Structures are given as C-alpha cells and as structure tokens.
Amino acid sequence: MKNLLYSCFLSSILVICVTACTPAREDDRLINQIISKHAAIQKKRGLSLCATGGCNKEGKTQGPSIDYVCKEPMDIPQARKLFVELSEEMITLMNSCDGIKPYMHHTPFVFKDLHMGILFFQAPSTYRDYPYVGLVSTLPDHQKVYYSFHKYDPSIGQDGFVRKYDHEETYEEALRLTGRMSSDDVKPLDELE
C-alpha cells in the first residue's frame, strides 16, 4: 500500500514538473492577454472574472471561453444589454489582435465562436432568485443566447436551486432588441479603457 501511495505521489510530482517546464503556446499567451484586457474592462462594470478557457477545433484556436459573475439583479432586457456589450467587446478585441489571426480556425472572429456566460449571484455560488436572471450564456457554434431563471427550494438542500424558466433568442434578436446591429457599433478600444 505504501509503495502504491509513494508511486502516486512521485507520478503527481513528475506531472507537475513536466507541465511547469512546458513553454506556453503563443496562441494561449495571446488569448490570455485578450481575456485579461476584457476582464479589466468588465471589472470597471463591477463584474468578476470567474472562469476562463479556450476552444480548439482541428488544432486551431476557435476562441476563448469566459465566465463572469455579476452581483446586480437584472431582468432579461438588462441582462441582454450587458451580455451583448460584453460579447461585442470580446469580438472587437479578438479581431483587433493581428497576432492571434494565424492561430485562429477562421477569421474574422464572430459571435458563434464565443463561449461566454454571466452568472448572476446574490451570494457566493448562489444564483439570483426568480424573477431575476440567474445565468445568461452561449456556447460555441450556437447562434443563440440562453437565459436561465432559478428558484431556491430549501427541501433540496444547500444547493437547492431549481431551474424555473428558460428563455432563448438568436444573437441577431438580442442585437436588434438592444439597438445594435453589428460589431461595427462598438466603441473604439481606446474608449473602452
């Protein structure tokens, strides 16, 4: 038993050392810079970056995966406006970075390449209660924005949130409903900072 535990421990140390010594890929470095710039913009709005990642397709970068936490209660129109602003800013940042283009699966970067979510929490890891939006998100290769509503049910336990209602719409509908038509309407990057 001791040998098994010792072998597992040594294997873990080896994996950590090899991973730490592996140089970061250039596309990962650029995506992380773009995400950091986007997160700095969102911090001014009171949003907290809570998860990041990337999506790859056929060995090429498809785009970033980003999730934010918002503590403000919002209904669908407010959440839609915020989500569209965040999405359009990320699209602009991705398309303005010439260095990432050789690593992209295709250019220009468009909404369907984005995986982003905003979690609306009233306390740590606790969704906003219905009638406020609990989550707004999209997935790569989808053209839809998804809104989830949750209701706390103490009989379920500590994590007793049940999805009460879902709403979805195309990104084009969201753009139209917020009075935006495309990424061309986004402020220049120097005005975002």
> Residue 159 sits in which domain range?
26-192
Distance CA 147, CA 81 (A): 12
Question: Is pLDDT of 28 > 50?
Answer: yes
pLDDT tens-digit profile of 150-170? 777 666 655 656 666 688 999
In a domain, 18, yes or no: no
Q: Would 106 be classed as within a structural domain?
A: yes
Contact present, 132 and 118 (Cβ < 8 Å): no
Q: Tell me whether the omega of the peptide bond preceding residue 131 falls within 30 degrees of 0, making it cis.
A: yes
In a domain, 21, yes or no: no
Structurally, the chain folds into a number of domains equal to: 1
pLDDT, mean of residues 73-85:
95
Q: Burial, 61: exposed, middle or buried (Cβ in 10 Å; 0-12, 13-18, 19+)?
A: buried
pLDDT of residue 183: 52
Tokens of 129: 């209660």
Q: What is the mean pLDDT of the chain?
A: 77
Answer whether residue 66 is part of any domain. yes
Confidence of residue 147 (pLDDT cuts 50, 70, 90): very high
Question: What whole-number percentage of the chain has pLDDT above 70?
Answer: 69
Question: What's the average model confidence in pLDDT over 176-188?
Answer: 66
Nearest one of 3, 86, 103, 5 to 38, comparing CA atoms: 86
Report the pLDDT value the prediction gives residue 182, as an integer from 0 to 100: 58
Is 166 part of any domain?
yes
- Place 62 in a pLDDT band, splitting at 50, 70 and 90: confident
Would 75 be classed as within a structural domain? Answer: yes
The pLDDT-based confidence of 81 (bands split at 50, 70, 90) is very high
Three-class secondary structure of residue 143 per DSSP:
coil
3 state SS of 33: helix
Selection from 39-53, 80-94, 122-136, 160-174 with the highest mean pLDDT: 80-94
Residue 14 clears pLDDT 70, i.e. is over it: no
Nearest alpha-carbon partner for 35 in 9, 63, 16? 63
- Does residue 146 form part of some domain? yes
Rounded mean pLDDT, 68-89 = 95
Q: What is the pTM of this model?
A: 0.76
Q: Is residue 11 part of a domain?
A: no
> pLDDT tens digits for 99-125?
999 888 888 999 988 889 999 988 776
Q: Which amino acid is at 14?
A: L
pLDDT over 80 at 83, yes or no: yes
